[in-house]
Structure 1
Amino acid sequence: MASVVVDEHAFKHGLDEEEIRFAWDHFVRLVHRGSPDEGQILAVGWGFTGRLIQLVAVERPFGVLIYHAMTPPTHNALRELGLKWR
């Protein structure tokens, strides 16, 4: 199993490491982005408080580095994940 590391920048929007890791482990939808954001992983997952959390990560040799987390997810992120239309 790959290691998951949460970068300190991911705490910018007030989520803590435990909830970010929980959301990553309980993702609803995950996509590997194409150009121009190739290499990024966009996901949304449930936090343990029931909030839907948007996550952006990259794969590294050690595993996954989550560097962005916020709630609620943006409309654009939900659209990119196929969870919102129009």
Structure 2
Amino acid sequence: MVQIHRRVHERHPELDAGDVEAAWENYRFAAVRVPGEQEMRTGYDPHGRYIEMVGVLLADGVWLIYHAMTPPSKKTLKEIESARRRGY
């Protein structure tokens, strides 16, 4: 299950909840920031846009996505590449 924080759409009106949810669930790469608690992911939405997202795992097992933007920043791509090299 995924829940999208309302701030995501307020800051990035071009992204709707369905776009972010699809990209989160079908992510291409991920970096675990806090194991079992926080992840950064990149993925493509149904429109082919590459999106960066950050979410936290809530106590009820739902991922709360509190940050999403397109395209992913260089900093995000670097963090994910570093995590991939470390095996996360």
Interval containing the TM-score (normalised by the shorter chain):
0.7 to 0.9
Name stretches of at least 5 consecutive residues in structure 1 with no aligned partner: none
Name stretches of at least 5 consecutive residues in structure 2 with no aligned partner: 83-88
Shift of 1:4: 1.1
Determine the structure 1 residue equivalent to 2:48.
Answer: 50
Determine the structure 2 residue equivalent to 1:19.
Answer: 19
State the superposition RMSD in angstroms.
1.7
TM-score by length of 2: 0.80
State whether structure 2 residue 68 is matched by structure 1 residue 80.
no
Shift of 1:52: 0.4
Q: Deviations over 1:2-45 (max 9, x none)?
A: x21111011121210010011011100111115xxxx4310001
Counterpart of 1:33 in 2: which secondary structure? strand
TM-score by length of 1: 0.82
C-alpha distance in 2 between matches for 1:28 and 1:13: 21
Question: Percent identity of the aligned residues?
Answer: 32
Tell me the number of residue pairs that the alignment of Structure 1 and Structure 2 aligns.
78
Greater helix fraction, Structure 1 or Structure 2: 2
Counterpart of 2:48 in 1: which secondary structure? coil
